[in-house]
């Protein structure tokens, strides 16, 4: 009799424990913080996959307390509206280029200039160091997760060239700051979306591009472009942001904020190294194509190119100063940082 009572007691304890565990799990599931992440890169792009990996890692490290729905390919917000989407809460997080909103982030525009970058990792580390140093108010309406920037942007043409002056009269895809680089050597900048560039090269509407070499594979421009001129004296980059709605960020528990902050630091390095891998992939892609050449220039040629970039850099300083921003200090910080971190 006593044995039966004891067994029944154990059964009751087991049932109560099971109900408690299940209800706790369901309760935790119900209370999971649900976030939406918007990305303009298409799903298959390596940068999109890395962002999706970040989302999954947040879920993993928070033990499911945060659940992120990922929207690649501008399915939640178009690239030019991505920042506003995060500000207004249409997306909880978003990422795209600063250059899509020229003039809105004037202090950070220094990153997009021809500073003579040597790699995507270098450019990515610089933009984050710059943000920590200057804390630009232009980003105050969001919580910055992390920033990154692609590898060196270089002149690449359909015909072989041996120096930058050889682009004189050639039509090169380039806009904004890039257009000034092209004009400095007598080229003719042609404005067009990336999606129309392949056809323009194929139909003879453009004679070349000014882009990082990752575009040779990523956009298949290597099938048409036959020469990559590696003169790093003109090497520019373009800054990207990953930001979060400020109200949503402030609503997160402190321990979750700490988890995400730590993850962001890791992904600065991951993102920078990815850009460099994509550049390597671009070069490998054209190695297997007939007729493509990579031309390296002398240190003297690079020094001459840097001199020709100075008026463009001075334009930035004047623009920033006119807006009451520390343009000269910002430029000096970048150039000094690049010298110390080649």
Q: What does the domain layout of the chain look like in residue ranges?
A: 153-236+286-340
Q: What is the pLDDT of residue 65?
A: 97
Phi, psi at residue 150, to the nearest 5°?
-75, 175
Q: What is the pLDDT of residues 150-195, one digit of tens each?
A: 999 999 999 999 999 999 999 999 988 999 999 999 999 999 888 8
CB atoms closer than 10 angstroms to residue 36? 21
Query: Is a pLDDT exceeding 90 seen at residue 7?
Result: no
This prediction has a pTM of 0.87
Task: Give residue 176's region: left, alpha or beta (phi > 0; psi -120 to 50).
Answer: left
Angle between helices 327-340 and 120-134 (to 10 degrees): 140
What is the rounded CA–CA span in Å between residue 202 and residue 122? 33
DSSP annotation string for 271-329:
HHHHHHHHHHHHHHHHHTSTT-EEEE--HHHHHHHHHHHHHHHHHHHHHHHHTTS-HHH
- Supply φ then ψ for residue 131, to 5 degrees: -65, -45
Read off the pLDDT of residues 216-264 as tens digits, 9 standing for 90 and up.
998 999 999 999 999 999 999 999 999 999 999 999 999 999 999 999 9
CA distance 334 to 126: 7
Confidence of residue 332 (pLDDT cuts 50, 70, 90): very high
The second-level CATH assignment, the architecture, of 153-236+286-340 is: 3-Layer(aba) Sandwich (3.40)
Q: How far is CA 84 from CA 104, 142, 340, in A?
A: 11, 9, 35
Task: Taking residues 322-340, report their average pLDDT.
Answer: 98
pLDDT at 17: 54
pLDDT tens per residue, range 22-61: 444 444 444 789 999 999 999 999 999 999 999 999 999 9
pLDDT, residue 23, reads: 42
């Amino acid at each position: 009799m006593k044995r039966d009572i004891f067994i029944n007691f154990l059964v009751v304890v087991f049932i109560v424990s099971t109900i408690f565990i299940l209800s706790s799990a369901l309760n935790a599931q119900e209370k999971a913080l649900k976030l939406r992440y918007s990305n303009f890169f298409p799903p298959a792009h390596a940068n999109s996959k890395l962002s999706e990996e970040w989302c999954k890692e947040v879920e993993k490290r928070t033990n499911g307390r945060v659940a992120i729905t990922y929207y690649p390919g501008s399915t939640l917000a178009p690239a030019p509206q991505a920042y506003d989407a995060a500000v207004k809460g249409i997306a909880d997080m978003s990422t795209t280029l600063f250059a899509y909103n020229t003039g809105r982030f004037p202090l950070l525009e220094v990153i997009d200039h021809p500073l003579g970058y040597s790699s995507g990792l270098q450019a990515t580390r610089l933009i984050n160091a710059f943000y920590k140093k200057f804390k630009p108010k232009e980003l105050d309406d969001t919580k910055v997760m992390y920033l990154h920037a692609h590898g060196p942007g270089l002149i690449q043409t359909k015909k072989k060239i041996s120096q930058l002056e050889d682009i004189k009269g050639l039509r090169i895809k380039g806009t904004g700051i890039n257009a000034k680089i092209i004009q400095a050597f007598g080229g003719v900048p042609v404005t067009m979306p990336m999606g129309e560039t392949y056809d323009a090269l194929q139909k003879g509407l453009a004679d070349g591009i000014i882009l990082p070499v990752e575009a040779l594979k990523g956009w298949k421009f290597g099938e048409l472009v036959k020469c990559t001129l590696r003169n790093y004296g003109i090497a520019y980059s373009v800054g990207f942001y990953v930001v979060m709605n400020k109200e949503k960020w402030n609503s997160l528990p402190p321990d979750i904020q700490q988890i995400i902050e730590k993850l962001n630091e890791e992904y600065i390095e991951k993102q920078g190294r990815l850009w460099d891998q994509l550049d390597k992939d671009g070069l490998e892609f054209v190695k297997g194509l007939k007729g493509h050449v990579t031309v390296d220039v002398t240190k003297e040629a690079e020094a001459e190119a840097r001199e020709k970039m100075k008026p463009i850099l001075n334009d930035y300083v004047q623009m920033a100063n006119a807006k009451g921003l520390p343009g000269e200090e910002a430029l000096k910080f970048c150039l000094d940082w690049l010298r110390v971190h080649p």
